[in-house]
Amino acid sequence: MSHPFHDLRKRFESISNEQTGYTTCKLREWIEDHLGHVLAIKPDAEFNGTMMQGFHWYSDGDGQHWNRLAADAPALAAAGISGIWFPPATKGFGGVNDVGYGIYDLFDLGEFPYPNGQVRTKYGTREEFILAAESCRNHGIEVYADVVFNHKMGGEFQEEYEAIPVSFSNRNQELGPPRMIRSYTGFDFPARGNQYSTMKWRWQHFSAVDYNSLDPGFKAIWRKVDKPFNAEVDWENGNYDFLMGCDLDVDHPEVRGELVHWGKWMLEAAPIAGFRLDAIKHIEGDFFNDWLDQLEAYAGRNLFCVGEYWTTKLDTLSWYIGNTGGRMHLFDAPLQNNFHHASRSGGAFDMRTILNGTLMKEFPLYAVTLVENHDTQPLQALEAVVEAWFKPLAYAIILLRSEGYPCIFTADYYGANYTGKGRDGQDYSISLTRHKAIIDILLLARRMFAHGPQHSYLDHFNCIGWTRVGTAQHPHALAVILSDGPAGTKWMDVGKPLASFQDITGHLHHIIHSNADGWAEFHCNGGSVSVWVEQHEGLSELL
């Protein structure tokens, strides 16, 4: 399946700049000068693909997850899902309890009895992973594999080597002279042996660790003596190269070679259309340029890539987009943060600003838009919950506007119930509302009606709206109106004189008629969204 988003990417020279040197505005100017129209239009206006994040932090760890994804593929394809972000297929040090980000062995997809004799991952076995990917591919859904390259965890044995202690809160501050430390940096992969790769990892392959068994009471990050942290990383804590575990030194030629080898191996292992790149704010900005170029040359095709650079700072995201030369999309963390605040403001959020500071608004071609993910969901590390009442409004924004490649969170679609510890150490039971009914309606509207030019009316404190006037191929128009406060109305140009519109959400039941100029006054309930579609022959069969 050819995915139009693959062809969007335009390579522009890396901008060599200080991280704070390029403002969003300057970068946009620069891109527009060099790429002209690219920011303004989609190459294929008729393509309305939708991604799903196919897991959440508390997805059932019974080993049946790959089987469920395989079984769900036909229904998801029918609903309009065109790409699925799979959870990490690789073995975590926590074995069957590891969500996958505590990565231990990149080459164990649930095939080797480690740790504790456990073969499968949280999600199932290697064979089941491949079958799930094939099932999705066979139903026209692209699979994006989760790539965890920043760190490794669960080394089998300790090594002694020389390191410098640095502060957690300021990684540029040394806490003392170099000394010998002892840490779990030895990875021989005894269960796998030399299958798929003969590389054994040693302390030389890591830039830093956070554990020294010779002095466990000394809380520090232990940086390898001869190797400063990479400069082309996020600048939080002075330098955010180190996140956790054994931090990979991606400047080491053996590490670089191994990660390219793994990427090629992964492309051969299963039908993968692209990658979701984990924790990229902790990895040298130039690393993935080289990695992706090598993999695309090997595959002979474009690979869709979306990176997790989790920050609400638009200028930082702009810098990263510039640095990667447009090779990858980024998750729209600022948009998710706006949704979080709007949902918590009880109607006091200025809805005119809902897109302010977002990738969706400033770099729509590089934005993967989202409402929630496995890190923002309740009890998780970056918890930034979007309250249930606001989710239909947020999903209407990402699914029915023209900007961005939207990603639906599986726990929003199916709902979820789980228990876990909060930041205060207490146990909590969480119940996430199932929004499948409304999301399916929005997906239908996305496929059938969200086409062509867009007129925006982000012009009222509570109530905003927009219209899509259609194309030759999808001629029927759409008007969306939503309010985080009281019920609202809005005059909007829907481009269709003397046409009739009905609200396919079912929230309102009257018919609205446009005037001879193609305008109409549309309505929505308080704290709600209505999606008005143009009535025509065959509409009732669609609904």
Q: Which residues are catalytic?
A: 278, 308
Nearer of residues 247 and 315 to Ca ion, judged by Cβ: 247
Q: Which stretch binds Ca ion (CB under 5 A): 16-24, 85-93, 181-189, 279-287?
A: 279-287
User: Closest separation between CB of residue 223 and Ca ion, Å?
Assistant: 11
Shortest Cβ distance from residue 306 to Ca ion (Å)? 19
Query: What is the rounded CA–CA span in Å between residue 39 and residue 296?
Result: 23
| Residue nearest to Ca ion as judged by C-beta position | 282
CA distance 252 to 249: 6
CB of 279 to Ca ion, least distance (A): 8
Q: How many Cβ atoms sit within 10 Å of the Cβ of residue 260?
A: 16
Kindly tell me which of 245 and 334 has the beta carbon lying closer to Ca ion: 245
Read off φ and ψ for residue 243, nearest 5 degrees. Answer: -110, -55
Closest distance of CB 241 from Ca ion, Å: 4
Are the beta carbons of 450 and 404 closer than 8 angstroms? no
Tell me which stretch binds Ca ion (CB under 5 A): 243-251, 364-372, 379-387, 453-461: 243-251
Judged by beta carbon, residue 98 or residue 247, the one nearer Ca ion is 247
- Would you say the C-alpha torsion 318, 260, 104, 306 has a positive or negative sign? positive
Taking the complex as a whole, how short is the minimal distance between the CB of residue 88 and Ca ion, in angstroms? 17
- Binders of Ca ion: how many residues, by CB under 5 A? 4
Does residue 290 sit in helix, strand or coil? helix
Closest by Cα among 197, 103, 111 to 150: 103
Long-range contacts of 464-468, Cβ-Cβ distance < 8 Å, separation of 24 or more: 464/351, 464/352, 464/354, 464/490, 465/490, 465/492, 465/522, 466/400, 466/401, 466/492, 467/492, 467/493, 467/494, 467/495, 468/400, 468/402
Binders of Ca ion in range 168-227 (CB under 5 A) = none
Distance CA 206, CA 224 (A): 8
User: Which residue, 282 or 474, has its beta carbon nearer to Ca ion?
Assistant: 282
- Convert residues 498-527 into a mask of x (bound to Ca ion by CB under 5 A) and - (unbound): ------------------------------
Stretch of residues binding Ca ion (CB under 5 A), selected from 42-50, 126-134, 242-250, 257-265: 242-250
Candidate ranges 134-142, 237-245, 350-358, 473-481; the one touching Ca ion (CB under 5 A): 237-245
Select 247 or 503, whichever has its Cβ closest to Ca ion: 247
Residues 123, 112, 282, 387: what is their CA dihedral angle, to the nearest 10 degrees?
10
Assign 3-class secondary structure to 71-102: HHHHHHHHHCCCEEECCCCCEECCHHHCCCCC
* Residue 180 or 381 with smaller CB distance to Ca ion: 381
Q: How far is the CB of 384 from Ca ion (least distance, A)?
A: 23
Q: Which residues of 327-346 are buried (b: 16+ CB within 10 A; e: fewer)?
A: bbbbbbbbbbbbbbebbeee
- Shortest Cβ 242–Ca ion spacing (Å): 6
**Of the two residues 220 and 481, which places its CB atom closer to Ca ion in the complex?**
220
Tell me: does residue 282 bind Ca ion (CB under 5 A): yes
How do beta strands 103-105 and 157-166 pair? Answer: unpaired
Binding part of the chain for Ca ion, among 148-156, 185-193, 256-264, 354-362 by CB under 5 A, reads 148-156
3-state SS string over 95-121?
HHHCCCCCEEECCCCCCCCCCCCCCCE
In angstroms, the CA 368 to CA 328 distance is 10
Residues at the interface with Ca ion (CB under 5 A): 150, 241, 247, 282
